[in-house]
Amino acid sequence: PKGTMSYFYRNSQAYETWWVHEGSGALKSQFGVLPFRKGDYIVIPFGTTWQMELNEESKFFTIENPSQIEPPKRYRNNYGQLLEHAPYCERDIRVPNELETHTERGEFDVRVKVRDRISQHILDHHPFDVVGWDGYLYPWIFNIEDFEPITGRIHQPPPVHQTFEGWNFVVCSFVPRLFDYHPEGIPAPYNHSNIQSDEVIYYAEGNFMSRKGIDRSDISLHPFGLPHGPQPGMTEASIGKKETQELAVMVDTFHPLQLTKQALEMEKPYMETWLEGDGE
């Protein structure tokens, strides 16, 4: 999308997380202005009335879920503070710090999503007509470049990439990092099955070292129970490599996902890339 939304929007049934692959702009809400840039995770709590203003044509990977998004519990102490071993800290999180007050009168189009339906409300006053706010529920931003990768002598399991958690799913960030440094380490991941977990990956930048047949902005889905891993030749090709510049967002869900008709129409022959010689 590009430009500024012609209406205001409020999701009353779900949190929304918008990851900015390309572009920049500002999220405006009753809490104020929250500028965003490439690489930002924009987390919007349910019940927030907002309007997005884009500085340029932009591209987003979006997640909608009926629970709040928060740092994993193992990153926090009993009081909610992020611990020293967490891959980011409180200073990396940005919140609205500029409140725009509006007193305009007229007709303001607000679209509200609830019970999987969208209704239209026409207000005679600006929806951001507030004098201030207080509390602990507000939009916030974390940039993927501030995620400090966790590496080891041998290949680390996927949970080291976890960034956020929600009810029955997690969000992970694959960022540029050094590979394993054991003399006999193999950087490519091992073959595995996700037990009761569907795996979705949005490929943003760089070469994903365990995959071929993947282009920029592609999305892959590995349903639970199906073994998967590096395609033929990718494990051998990873030996001796020191680092990766890959950038990707992964969502692991603990309930099965359903494909839309649009997704099926755009499906690429990704599964054939596990055949020898295919998928280049």
pLDDT for res 280: 45
pLDDT for res 276: 64
The tens place of each residue's pLDDT in the chain, 280 residues long, gives: 888 899 999 999 999 999 999 999 999 999 999 999 999 999 999 999 999 999 999 999 999 999 999 999 999 999 999 999 999 999 999 999 889 889 999 999 999 999 999 999 999 999 999 999 999 999 999 999 999 999 999 989 889 999 999 999 999 999 999 999 999 989 888 888 888 899 999 999 987 766 777 889 999 999 998 888 888 888 888 888 899 999 999 999 999 999 999 988 988 888 888 786 544 4
Residue 139 is encoded by which pair of tokens? 């939009």
pLDDT for res 152: 93
pLDDT for res 278: 46
Task: Tell me which residue of 50, 54, 52 sits closest to 110, measured CA to CA.
Answer: 50
144, 41 in Cβ contact below 8 A?
A: yes
3-state secondary structure labels for all residues of the chain: CCCECCCEEEECCCEEEEEEEECCEEEEECCEEEEECCCEEEEECCCCEEEEEECCCCEEEEEEECCCCECCHHHECCCCCECCCCCCCHHHEECCCECCCCCCEEEEEEEEEECCEEEEEEEEECCCCCCCCCCCCCCEEEEHHHCCCCCCCCCCCHHHHEEEEECCEEEEEECCEECCCCCCCCCCCCCECCCCCEEEEEEEECCCCCCCCCCCCCEEEECCCCCECCCCCHHHHHCCCCEECCEEEEEEECCCCCCCHHHHHHCCCHHHHHCCCCCC
194/228 Cα distance (integer angstroms) = 9
194, 234 in Cβ contact below 8 A?
A: no
Q: Taking the complete model, does pTM exceed 0.95, yes or no?
A: no
Contacts of 107 (CB under 8 A, 6+ apart): 122, 123, 124
Residue 148 is encoded by which pair of tokens? 């400090």
Show the CA angle centred on residue 147, arms to residues 163 and 250, nearest 5°.
40
- What burial class does residue 262 get, using C-beta atoms within 10 Å of its C-beta: 0-12 exposed, 13-18 middle, 19+ buried? exposed
217/200 Cα distance (integer angstroms) = 12
pLDDT for res 209: 62
What are the chain's domains?
A: 8-143 (2.60.120), 150-274 (2.60.120.10)
